[in-house]
Amino acid sequence: MPRGLSIYAEGTSALHRAHPFTKGAITLVSVALAFIVPSLPWVLGLAAILLALLAWARVLARFVPIAVGILLPITLLLLIVQGFANPANRTVLIALGPFSLYVEGMRVGLLAAARIFDLVSATFLFSFTTRPADFAESLMQHGLSPRFGYIIQSALQIIPQSLEQADRIREAQQARGLETTGPLLRRARAYIPLLLPLVLSSLVATQERAMALEVRGFGLPVHRYSRIVLPDSGAQRLLRWALAALVPIAIAARFLGWR
Amino acid sequence: MGWLNAFKLRLNTLGIVLIPVCIAIDWVGHAIATSLKLPLFLDSIGTILGGILAGPWVGGLAGFITNLISSGTVDPIAAPYSIVSLLLGFAAGIAAYLGWARSPRGWIYLWILCFLVASIGSTPFNIALYSGQSGLPLGDAIYAGLVKAHWPTWIAAYIDEAAGDLPDKLVTAAVALLIYNGLPRRYRALFRLYTPAEDTTEADRQPARA
Amino acid sequence: MTPALLMEGVRFRYPETTPYVLDGIDLTVARGEWLGVVGPTNAGKSTLCYAAMGLATEFFNGALTGRITVLGTDIRKEKVIERSRRVGMLFQNPFTQISGARERVDEEVAFGPENHGLAPELVAERVKESLERVGLSGVAERHPLDLSGGQLQRLALASLLAMHPQMLLLDEPTSQLDPVGTRDLFGVLNHLHQGGVTIVMVEQKLDAVAELCDRVVAMAAGRVIGIGQPEAVFNDIAVQDSAGAPSYTRLARTVGVKPPWPVTFDAAVRALHA
């Protein structure tokens, strides 16, 4: 049975134990700053901090292969396209005749790739150290309606279940002679026969599940007690505000000429 | 007053349960496309189907949360584009409200609307985050050629994005509409959580049982 | 004491359809009674349960005339989610009744009480008690989808019991279960009945209905065609022709036993010995 979609990695680091909002603040502020700070050294500095945090949470080893898989193609695309076509191009770096790559463009590409790196590492930092259930709970403890919390919790289970069901449907359809290999048009014709059974059974289940939820009082406007205890502290709250303050400060600095 | 009807948030239990199902359809739609090695994303079928079936809020929330979950698990780069997916689902819901799901002309309008929302919505993010590129080799090659030929970056960026969105949203909208129109009538009626612009009860009235 | 369920002149049809699925139902169910509901398909048995729960009007938006009073409250005066405090409903499909948002059996059972706003200590107590009542204490920590169909149906029942309902409505609860699962579920229901819970159960397994229920109501085409003790109802030829009869009844009738025919195993043994 699929256990859910989360990539949460068990751990006891300070980051694991921190309140989800604190980790969320780190992620959001890092991403914002990555795109606000003016130049490559700053972006790389931020990257170094994020890598250090990943190491502190003992998830660095887990992060590297995933990051490479995501970042390598996009980095190449950015370097090549910008290196080739950027309007500011003047100095040749790699001479390939009409397809030469220029320094200025590659610098732009590199900066963009570094910013994406910060985005990816900041996001994975959150995902590796935060249980989705805890995250949903933290939102509900601060005002998110339990009905919306339900949407998130249910989605995290139903996605892997549906993917598994889709595999079973594909096997059944293939046993009935459905062609899934060969020329493009033949493969394309298999698309709806593979998707439709899942949609139909999901919609039937939806009606039944909605009734089952109602007979269990789903949506009653009562005070909801917290199921999970999420430790927070004054220090963490202060940290969150301090981090948040960095964003307008950085924006203002850019306006005032920070280069 | 009519337009406000479609915008009113009507999310009962059925709508709440439908949203995760649409999210799952988004994911499965993409997984099937990958397993069949089709050159398209097809990751918004659930979003658009949810919008057509149950209105703007179901479609919009499904699209938004699909991107959030995807960015938290496999593809962090999807996170900023959650807003585009939200707008896409919302637009599909508005289209359903206007009755576009039920006529061949409406199908074309729906495809064009989805295409415009996706391409126009994504381009600003591409420019801010990706130096104008879309991240797809074919589109980026077009971008490179246009910029090299001194086209303005923002136009090149749009055409880059549009080159990918045009076929993708065409097939996405087509699949969603085929599925929608293939559903038993009572399901279309059951999940219609918005009040349509025109009376649809005649079209979906069930024949009396003998 | 007011009846658990009172239906007076009830007629109901689903939206945008013309035929009446319930076509003039008058029914009184006493507190603590176990009522079996039998009949052919499309007799309106499931709709009877949906109507009593309030789903027929609120969820399906059907047109209801007549009066339905559940535990003293008119059906229109209370929403389904409010009624869930006192009435529980079990559906046919074990797999679509789990919330889909909980990863452990005990958390799943807690879902209902939590929705009702009960304090955590009370919720924990109710969960433990409910799991014991259905015999699932041993799997409290497992993922719900690791359970068999029969176990899932008992989990759904436990989820309802955790809210301490006064009445249970069951729509063919064993239709998707194997014999062992069926036997286990009926065992739990029997205990509940002995504890005073009112049960209205739609069932096709007529042997069990005759064995377990205090009274039986037979429906056909939206109307009641027979109501009373199992012996009386299943001896009615009209009922036998439309809903069928327990196997012992059919056996006795075929073998040539004189009416009234037995409807339970013990009665059949006695009748065949005579």
A103-129 and B104-130 helices, crossing angle to 10°: 100
Average pLDDT of the residues in B23-45: 95
B179/A195 touch (CB, cutoff 8 Å), yes or no: yes
Name the residue facing A155 among B20, B35, B143 (closest C-beta): B20
C15/B189 touch (CB, cutoff 8 Å), yes or no: yes
The predicted structure's pLDDT at residue C210 = 95
Q: How far is A5 from chain B (nearest CA, A)?
A: 7
The predicted structure's pLDDT at residue A57 = 93
CB-based contact, B206 to chain C, within 8 Å = yes
CB-based contact, B20 to chain C, within 8 Å = yes
**Does B208 have pLDDT greater than 60?**
no
**Does B7 have pLDDT greater than 70?**
no
CB-based contact, A127 to chain B, within 8 Å = yes
Average pLDDT of the residues in B145-162: 93
Q: If you ran DSSP here, which 8-state letter would residue C216 be given?
A: E
Q: How far is B126 from chain C (nearest CA, A)?
A: 35
Name the residue facing C16 among B20, B206, B209 (closest C-beta): B206
Size of the A and B interface in Cβ pairs below 8 Å? 170
CB B177 within 8 A of CB B106: no
The predicted structure's pLDDT at residue C212 = 96
* In chain A, residues 134-193 whose CB comes closer than 8 Å to chain B: 147-148, 150-152, 154-156, 158-159, 161-163, 166, 170, 180, 184, 187-188, 190-192
**Band of the pLDDT at A1, cuts 50, 70, 90?**
very low
Cα–Cα distance for residue pair C217/C239, rounded to 1 Å: 10
Angle at C54 between CA C168 and CA C128, to 5 degrees: 35
A211/C91 touch (CB, cutoff 8 Å), yes or no: yes
C120-134 and C149-161 helices, crossing angle to 10°: 140
Name the residue facing A192 among B19, B24, B175 (closest C-beta): B175
**Does B209 have pLDDT greater than 60?**
no
CB A30 within 8 A of CB A118: yes
Q: How far is B34 from chain C (nearest CA, A)?
A: 27
Question: Which residues 6+ apart lie within 8 Å of B151 measured at CB?
Answer: none
The predicted structure's pLDDT at residue B189 = 85
The predicted structure's pLDDT at residue A259 = 76
pLDDT by residue (tens digit) across A94-125?
888 888 888 888 999 999 999 999 999 999 99
**Band of the pLDDT at B207, cuts 50, 70, 90?**
very low
pLDDT by residue (tens digit) across C28-62?
999 999 999 999 998 999 999 999 999 999 988 89
C17/B189 touch (CB, cutoff 8 Å), yes or no: no
Mutate to test the interface with B, among A78, A127, A195, A209 (most CBs of B within 10 A): A195
Average pLDDT of the residues in A146-175: 94
C114/A158 touch (CB, cutoff 8 Å), yes or no: no
Angle at B155 between CA B151 and CA B157, to 5 degrees: 105
Nearest residue in chain B measured CA to CA from C60: B190
The predicted structure's pLDDT at residue B200 = 52
Mutate to test the interface with B, among A68, A81, A167 (most CBs of B within 10 A): A81
Q: What percent of chain B has pLDDT over 90?
A: 73
Query: The tokens of C231 are what?
Result: 């012996």
**Does B148 have pLDDT greater than 50?**
yes
The predicted structure's pLDDT at residue A86 = 87
Query: The tokens of C209 are what?
Result: 């209905």
Give the residue among A14, A27, A99, A87 at the shortest CA–CA distance from A57: A14
Which stretches of chain C score pLDDT less than 70?
Answer: none
Q: Which residues of C touch B (CB under 8 A)?
A: 15-19, 59, 100
**Band of the pLDDT at A4, cuts 50, 70, 90?**
low
CB-based contact, B198 to chain A, within 8 Å = no
Mutate to test the interface with A, among C111, C115, C176 (most CBs of A within 10 A): C115
C115/A208 touch (CB, cutoff 8 Å), yes or no: no
CB C254 within 8 A of CB C261: no
Average pLDDT of the residues in A29-48: 94
* Stated pTM of the model: 0.91
The predicted structure's pLDDT at residue C273 = 84
| Cα-based torsion angle of the residue sequence B162, B166, B168, B171 in order, rounded to the nearest 10 degrees | 170
**Band of the pLDDT at B199, cuts 50, 70, 90?**
low
B76/A70 touch (CB, cutoff 8 Å), yes or no: yes
Name the residue facing B208 among C15, C18, C100 (closest C-beta): C18
Q: If you ran DSSP here, which 8-state letter would residue B149 be given?
A: T
The predicted structure's pLDDT at residue B1 = 45
Name the residue facing C81 among A4, A214, A223 (closest C-beta): A214
**Band of the pLDDT at A228, cuts 50, 70, 90?**
confident
What Cα–Cα distance (Å) separates residue C153 from each residue in A134, A212, C127? 28, 12, 16
Mutate to test the interface with B, among A161, A162, A186, A254 (most CBs of B within 10 A): A162
The predicted structure's pLDDT at residue C258 = 86
Query: The tokens of B173 are what?
Result: 């909208």
Residues of C whose CB is below 8 A from B10: none
Residues of A whose CB is below 8 A from B49: 199
β-bridge mates for residue C65, sequence order: C11
* In chain B, residues 56-85 whose CB comes closer than 8 Å to chain A: 61, 65, 69, 71-73, 75-77, 79
Q: How far is C66 from chain A (nearest CA, A)?
A: 23
CB B11 within 8 A of CB B62: no
Average pLDDT of the residues in B13-30: 96
- DSSP line for B64-109: HHHHHHHHHHT-GGGGGGHHHHHHHHHHHHHHHHTTGGGSHHHHHH
- Residue reference for tokens 């899932």: C152
